[in-house]
Amino acid sequence: MKLFLSLLVVSTLSQWVLTLVPPTKDPQTAVAELVEGKPWIFSGENIRLTCSIPGDLSDWRHQWFRGDKFIQESKDLVIWKAMPQQSGKYYCQGIRKTWIYQQRTPQSLPVEIKVDGGWAILRAPSLPMLVGETMTLSCDVRDNPRLTEVILYHNGVEIQRQSDPKLRVTNLTLRHPGSYWCRATWHKQMATHSVISLATTVSVLDILTEPFLEIVPQDPLIPKEHMLLVCHVQLNAREKDLMINYNFYQDGLKLGPASSNDRFPVLRASGLYSCTASVPILELKRESEPVAYKRVN
């Protein structure tokens, strides 16, 4: 009888302990979003950020940080009448108590907030632009006066002059990256006012970069008497799932048909090697500089 009671107690304790083990599935990364306001604002304006846990159906609490400094615990973070010293990168994180320990999600990607104490902000695209696109910028002035003149500068050189605060730079090329700022002028109470924004950096990428051919004399995945040609190239496009076709050449002669594979094994031999990369749907084709290879017996 005593043996039976002991087994019953052990069995009951085992079941109770098992219920305390938390789920083994790792929580999803928290997501911080700007839902009211703009990433770059004038001092005195308001912004609101919110934090969420993808697929969250449980009792997560949300913590906010600027850099590595804890700010507060709340789902939403509201910054009223922001000051320049509140500029920075904001992160959030989910936290909850389990039976055993306190569980935390990975920290979110940052939302960068700039609070400008000046009078003008030149708003530019946050993502890189592509060659051939049109870039739209906005020269915003505190209190939104009616502007009489807006001048746009690129790397210190005036490139546009107009009265509209919306500025457009068309047909972008690889000469257009760099620093941009604006000067805005308006009249008020028989006086002329003129302000200059801080500089903002703009990136412009080539849609298909110039290929670079790498020759790998020995590779464990190919026969010893062969070497590997690798065509390095980068495709920057708004469209998704675009295919790059590769061709490889020795002394100007094509080595096999076009392929979607960026590497090509060939017999080790002296010569000038090159490759081309093309995106037929965009009618783009680029060619690498030739690379000399001399076989050593």
Average pLDDT over residues 241-265: 95
pTM here? 0.76
User: Does residue 239 share a domain with residue 174?
Assistant: no
Residue 2 has pLDDT above 50, yes or no: no
Based on the fold, state whether residues 59 and 104 are members of the same structural domain.
yes
Higher-confidence residue of 220 and 16: namely 220
**% the chain with pLDDT above 70:** 90
From CA 36, how far away is CA 175, in angstroms rounded? 35
111-121 average pLDDT score = 95
Return the pLDDT at 10: 34
pLDDT band at 56 (very low <50, low <70, confident <90, very high): low
Q: Give the tokens for residue 142.
A: 């505190």
Asked if the structure places residue 34 within a domain, the reply is yes
* 83 and 124 fall within a common domain: no
Is residue 26 very low, low, confident or very high in pLDDT (cuts 50, 70, 90)? Answer: low
**Encoded tokens for 286:** 């680029």
Q: What is the pLDDT of residues 168-217, one digit of tens each?
A: 999 999 999 999 999 999 998 889 999 999 999 999 999 999 999 999 98
- 173 and 196 together in one domain: yes
Confidence of residue 106 (pLDDT cuts 50, 70, 90): very high
- Of the pLDDT bands very low, low, confident and very high (cuts 50, 70, 90), residue 218 is confident
The conformation of residue 209, written as its DSSP 8-state character, comes to P
Q: Which of 14-23, 159-168, 222-231 has the highest mean pLDDT?
A: 159-168
233 in any annotated domain: yes
Q: Which residues contact 186 (CB under 8 A, 6 or more apart)?
A: 141, 145, 146, 147, 148, 192, 193
Q: Can you say whether residue 44 is alpha, beta or left, with left for phi > 0 and alpha for psi between -120 and 50 degrees?
A: left
15 falls within a domain: no
Q: Confirm whether 6 is domain-assigned.
A: no
Inform me whether the pLDDT recorded for 31 exceeds 80.
yes
* Structural domain range at position 165: 120-205
Last residue of a domain, one of 178, 205, 232: 205
pLDDT for res 295: 84
Q: Are 215 and 222 in contact (CB under 8 A)?
A: no
Whether 266 is in a domain gets the answer: yes
User: In the listed set 85, 116, 147, which residue is the last one of a domain according to the structure?
Assistant: 116
* Cα gap 151→149, rounded to integer Å: 7
Based on the fold, state whether residues 128 and 167 are members of the same structural domain: yes
* pLDDT, average across residues 2-24: 37
Task: Using the structure block, give the residue that is written with the tokens 């997501």.
Answer: 31
Q: Inform me whether the pLDDT recorded for 128 exceeds 60.
A: yes
Tell me what the pLDDT averaged over the chain comes to: 89
- 147 and 197 part of one domain: yes
The token duo for 154 is 């690129």
Band the pLDDT of 98: cuts 50, 70, 90.
confident
Question: Which of 180, 205, 230 is the last residue before a domain boundary?
Answer: 205
What does the buried/exposed string (b/e) look like for 167-206 if buried means 16 or more CB atoms within 10 Å of the residue's CB?
A: bebeebeeebbeebbbbbbbeeeeeeeebbbeebebebbb
What is the CA 272 to chain-centroid distance, rounded?
Answer: 38
Looking at the structure, tell me whether residues 240 and 196 fall in a common domain: no
Structure tokens at 2: 């005593």
Do 256 and 270 belong together in one domain? yes
Average pLDDT, stretch 119-138?
95
* Higher-pLDDT residue of 134, 18: 134
Residue 11 lies in a domain: no
The answer to whether residue 183 is domain-embedded is yes
Question: Residues 81-102: what's their mean pLDDT?
Answer: 91
- pLDDT for position 52: 93
Contact 30, 55 (CB under 8 A): no
Is the confidence at residue 108, as pLDDT, over 70?
yes
The residues with which 93 forms a beta bridge, in sequence order, are 63
20 pLDDT exceeds 50?
no
93 in a domain, yes or no?
Answer: yes
Specify the number of domains making up the chain: 3
- Radius of gyration (Cα) for the chain, nearest Å? 30
For 213, phi then psi, to 5°, come to -90, 130
227 and 287 co-located in one domain: yes
Residue 75 sits in the same domain as residue 39 = yes
Q: Which of 57, 59, 42 is nearest to 120 (CA)?
A: 42
- Pair (200, 127) in one structural domain: yes
Question: Do 134 and 195 lie in a common domain?
Answer: yes
**What CATH number is associated with residue 54?**
2.60.40.10
